[in-house]
Structure 1
Amino acid sequence: MKELVSTVKSNYSAVELDVLKEVINIGGGHAATSLSQLIEKPVHMTVPVIEMMEYADVYEQIMPEEAVIKAVIIKMMGDAEGVFLFTVDQQVSETIVAMMLPENTPYSEDLANSALQELVNILVNSFLNAVMKLMDANLVTSVPIIIEDMFGAIMSSVYLEQSQYDDSIMIIKNEFYYLGDRLESSLYFVPKPGIIEKMLTALTV
């Protein structure tokens, strides 16, 4: 197993970002395939967006700070640490329930939350299984936790918990398409400081 040696770096070259994008794209493809097989309906993920962005710009370019959303949080532990954050517009919850469960299943808030948690559990673990093969790393996940709050409050708490204090932050974002329609949801990865450097070291050795 490759040792993940941490280095410190404030910015990344276009080549390094392309390497990360390719890894995430492969992992996202595995996740979408696993979900499609489970629900027996096509689910697609976009090519990931990876960019360095000023913290304030996140709310201008991605989602307003005051937008109320549901979020599912899964922590990644092991040879690398970070948090996966799946955010979804409130109106999309019913679509996800319909996607995950048999037809004509009555909607309820508890059912919607369970469906969201199961969806994210499948996506993240399928993704990590692919990444572990590429990195030769041991990674495990926590039980998914669901939160409903303003987008700004959720993002701030996750970044602070991961000791991310820089004005410039890395955004790793995938979007999902179900039966050709874009779901108003995104999967973010918020790493502990130094984890991206560890990933790049492992991938280029």
Structure 2
Amino acid sequence: MSNNFTAVEVDIIKEMINIGGGNVATSISKMIGKKVHMNLPIITQLTYNQIFETMMPAEEVVKAVQLEVDGAIKGQFLLLVDEKNIIQFSPEDRQLIQNEELVNSALCELANILVNQFIQAIVSLFDVPLMTSVPYLAEDMFGSLLSSAYLEEFQFDDQVWIFKNEYWVENEKWDSSLYFVPQDGILESFLEYMREKGEI
């Protein structure tokens, strides 16, 4: 992805991530009946080494739900959630965490709801056609999952863009992160689409 975005173009990308992530925070709040707020989204370009040094060790094993997005924006969402957080969505069933099949199903459903809320916010804001795939659960080292996502979206540079939202439930960090991996060149195409519509 190009480094040569104008200030206006960067603001549009930030607004897209911010509005989408804010919609997710609202959805989480409604589902669990607690106040949820989102930190300012992380939108930055890092090397893989910097990602693993500052965000999560490459060798840490995680569960991630992957969803593809297609349309005016193409790419992949990765939702990383500590499975213990699933209890927050079903506090009356503390046995849930002991049933791996139920946890995996709940993680996929959670990702499906949150990513589609994210997408709906972008569709409403920018009036662009978007659709998502069926969620897929993967368990692997964080480094392998993130690297694979970038390779699948044809991004082969050592410098990669990170679009990440982090959430807090009341005063406790909700151990989840939503990453967006855009297909190479798609943000440039999206901005061109916006120019043609006269939005920028």
| Fold similarity call, TM over 0.5 | yes
- Tell me if structure 2 keeps the 8 A contact 1:97–1:111: no
Q: 2:83 maps to which residue?
A: 93
- Tell me if structure 1 keeps the 8 A contact 2:20–2:119: yes
Shift of 1:72: 0.7
Shift of 1:147: 0.8
- Tell me if structure 1 keeps the 8 A contact 2:72–2:190: no
Q: Judging changes above 3 Å, is the alpha-carbon distance between structure 1 residues 110 and 11 closer, same or farther for their aligned structure 2 residues? A: farther
Shift of 1:9: 2.8
Identity between Structure 1 and Structure 2 (%): 46
Q: 1:26 maps to which residue?
A: 19
Q: 1:39 maps to which residue?
A: 32
Q: Structure 2: how far apart are the matches of 1:124 and 1:83?
A: 10
Deviation string 1:65-102 (CA, Å, 9 cap, x unpaired) is 111111110100122210001123xxx312x2211124
SS in structure 2 opposite 1:22?
A: helix
Higher mean Cα deviation, 67-76 or 191-200? 191-200
Q: 2:93 maps to which residue?
A: 104
Shift of 1:105: 3.8
Please report the RMSD computed on the Cα atoms of aligned residues, expressed in angstroms. 1.8
SS in structure 1 opposite 2:9?
A: helix
**After superposition, where does 1:1-205 map in structure 2 within 5 Å?**
9-88=2-81, 92-94=82-84, 96-106=85-95, 107=97, 108-201=99-192, 202=194, 204-205=199-200
Higher mean Cα deviation, 107-116 or 160-169? 107-116
Shift of 1:197: 1.4
- Tell me if structure 2 keeps the 8 A contact 1:54–1:168: yes
Q: How many residues are aligned here?
A: 194
Deviation string 1:3-26 (CA, Å, 9 cap, x unpaired) is xxxxx7344345433332222111
- Tell me if structure 2 keeps the 8 A contact 1:21–1:49: no
Q: Structure 1: how far apart are the matches of 2:155 and 2:35?
A: 36
